[in-house]
């Protein structure tokens, strides 16, 4: 385990020099029982602070934020009633001042010396956090070693984005308690930050020394901006007449080297923060990120075709990850971009038992009720319910060779002709190609592709992002009720 940072050291490491404003009020311990008072005094001497958390306001690269930082040296970072009062006051003040909030936990949970009265304060802290998030304000959590018990199970796990210190022990149940209760040691490797990232429970690992640039990026992309009036469009690049058949387009999108969602982010986005899973499980085949597209902070939910082809198809967990992204955009008032590029959802008994159809319908429902500006981009393959789930948006657009079909053409052929040999013919009859989607009023726009996207991934991404942001700006100009809710 690397150096264990004190609370004030961490704030000094992350905040702009000279920007800190302490919010902590003195805590009177004269009424504490003598033994407990002595423990608190010893903790103050050991830690150099008067309680298990410090709070305040500062800036990071000039952007204001509020902070709550725990220190394990003070009675194991435990949360007593007075600690909770301090935390709640900081949360409410951050909400009133419209400040993003960053909390860094390092705690064994509730203070055992105070028992149930301290334990139930986790509820009131969590309520304050929910009110902060309901106000559309970002809440970012950095979990340090160790974060356990009631802190981990309440306000420590409510972040829009949750990052952890390398090798940090994170868990609900302390290993010592488990061993006493069960007469056997807790399995190694379960309550470790890296394992929780792999399981989609937290989003990323970052050393304390990496926290300042990460927090600065998060503040840039989680804070809405006025998209402004739509930019005057230049003369659009004319879409060349389609060469070949719809089937040719299908084969083009099935090439392993065709750019996908990762290339779109690599070449077309800045300030990219990739999030892991749903916050409760891994969501393979779905990539969730917050990023800036042409300067616009957005939530991007994209199907990762390559992962689906090599690491397993898109299943219920992947769709739940998409729902997390949709909710995140709605909570923070950020434009939403969904990217369709899937050979099809998981067709297996496990997916059926996992509620695949229900997750498709719930994803559709979340998109249907979204109020933020949204654009759906058919980047390549658009097969079946997995594609349909990501389609609803204010504007639906497609790359030149993108396509949308109820089933893979081979599957449609199996239904109609009892074999797969009529796939090419059916792809024409079913009007699955981008040109047909435009003619039938299903999509709003087609984006011309480079002659060979695999050889020009940056140009492919540039064209896609340019079209997406043009549509977002036009939608935002029409959504006055949404723009009225924007914060400076």
C-alpha 454/C-alpha 472 separation (Å) is: 26
- Give residues with Cβ within 8 angstroms of 126, minimum separation 6: 154, 155, 158
C-alpha 256/C-alpha 263 separation (Å) is: 13
Q: Which residue has the tokens 């956090």?
A: 129
* DSSP secondary structure, 450-488, as one string: PS-TTT-HHHHHHHHHHHHHHHHHHHHHH-HHHHTT---
**Interval 353-384: pLDDT, tens:** 999 999 999 999 999 999 999 999 999 999 99
Sheet with 296-303, side-by-side order of all strands: 269-275, 286-293, 296-303, 336-342, 374-382, 395-399, 445-447
pTM score over 0.85: yes
How would you label 111-141 residue by residue, b for 16+ Cβ within 10 Å and e otherwise?
Answer: beebeeebbebbebbbebbeebbeebbbbbb
Q: Which residue has the tokens 């006493």?
A: 180
> What pLDDT sits at residue 335?
96
> What pLDDT sits at residue 173?
82
> What pLDDT sits at residue 420?
82
What Rg value do the Cα atoms of the chain yield, rounded?
Answer: 25
C-alpha 142/C-alpha 316 separation (Å) is: 28
**Parallel, antiparallel or unpaired: strands 139-148 and 63-70:** unpaired
- Give residues with Cβ within 8 angstroms of 452, minimum separation 6: none
CB atoms within 10 A of CB 231: 12
What are the structural domains, with CATH classification, of the chain?
7-222 (3.90.226.10), 246-483 (3.90.226.10)
C-alpha 154/C-alpha 173 separation (Å) is: 13
> What pLDDT sits at residue 377?
98
**Helix, strand or coil, per DSSP, at residue 302:** strand
Low-confidence ranges of the chain (pLDDT < 70): 1, 227-229, 231-242, 480-488
**Interval 411-463: pLDDT, tens:** 888 899 898 888 899 899 999 999 999 999 999 999 999 999 999 999 999 99
Side-chain half-sphere of 256: how many Cα atoms within 13 Å? 2
Q: What is the largest CA-CA distance in the chain?
A: 86
């Amino acid at each position: 385990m690397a150096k264990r940072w004190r609370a004030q050291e961490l704030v000094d490491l992350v905040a702009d020099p000279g920007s800190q404003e302490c919010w902590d009020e003195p805590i009177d311990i004269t009424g504490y029982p003598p033994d407990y008072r002595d423990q608190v005094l010893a903790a103050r001497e050991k830690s150099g602070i008067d309680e298990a958390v410090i709070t305040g306001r500062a800036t990071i690269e000039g952007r204001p934020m509020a902070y709550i930082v725990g220190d394990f040296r003070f009675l194991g970072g435990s949360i007593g009633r007075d600690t909770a009062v301090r935390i709640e006051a900081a949360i409410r003040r951050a909400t009133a001042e419209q400040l993003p909030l960053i909390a860094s936990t390092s705690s064994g949970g509730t203070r055992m010396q105070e028992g149930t009265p301290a334990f139930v304060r986790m509820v009131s802290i969590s309520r304050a956090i929910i009110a902060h998030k309901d106000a559309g304000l970002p809440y970012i959590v950095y979990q340090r070693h160790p974060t356990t018990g009631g802190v981990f199970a309440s306000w420590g796990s409510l972040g829009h984005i949750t990052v952890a210190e390398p090798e940090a022990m994170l868990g609900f149940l302390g290993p010592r308690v488990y061993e006493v209760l069960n007469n056997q040691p807790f399995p190694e490797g379960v309550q470790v930050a890296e394992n929780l990232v792999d399981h989609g429970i937290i989003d990323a690992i970052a050393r304390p020394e990496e926290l300042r640039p990460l927090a600065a990026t998060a503040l840039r992309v989680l804070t809405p901006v006025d998209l402004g009036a739509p930019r005057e469009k230049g003369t659009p690049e004319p879409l060349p007449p389609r060469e070949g058949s719809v089937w040719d387009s299908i084969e083009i999108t099935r090439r392993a080297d065709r750019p996908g969602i990762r290339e779109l982010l690599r070449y077309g986005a800045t300030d990219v923060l990739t999030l892991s899973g749903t916050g409760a499980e891994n969501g393979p085949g779905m990539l969730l990120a917050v990023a800036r597209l042409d300067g616009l902070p957005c939530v991007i939910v994209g199907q990762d075709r390559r992962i689906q082809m090599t690491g397993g198809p898109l299943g219920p967990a992947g769709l739940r990850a998409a729902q997390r992204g949709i909710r995140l955009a709605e909570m923070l008032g950020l434009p939403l971009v969904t990217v369709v590029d899937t050979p099809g959802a998981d067709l297996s008994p496990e997916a059926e038992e996992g509620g695949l159809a229900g997750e498709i319908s719930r994803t559709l429902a979340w998109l249907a009720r979204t109020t933020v500006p949204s654009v759906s981009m058919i980047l390549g393959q658009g097969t079946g319910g997995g594609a349909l789930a990501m389609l609803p948006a204010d504007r639906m657009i497609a790359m030149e060779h993108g396509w949308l079909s109820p089933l893979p053409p081979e599957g449609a052929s199996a239904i109609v002709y009892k074999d797969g040999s009529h796939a090419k013919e059916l792809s024409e009859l079913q009007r699955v190609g981008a040109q047909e989607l435009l003619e039938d009023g299903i999509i709003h726009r087609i984006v011309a592709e480079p002659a060979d996207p695999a050889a020009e991934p940056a140009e492919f991404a540039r064209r896609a992002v340019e079209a997406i942001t043009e549509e977002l700006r036009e939608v935002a100009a029409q959504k006055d009720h949404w723009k009225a809710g924007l914060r400076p």
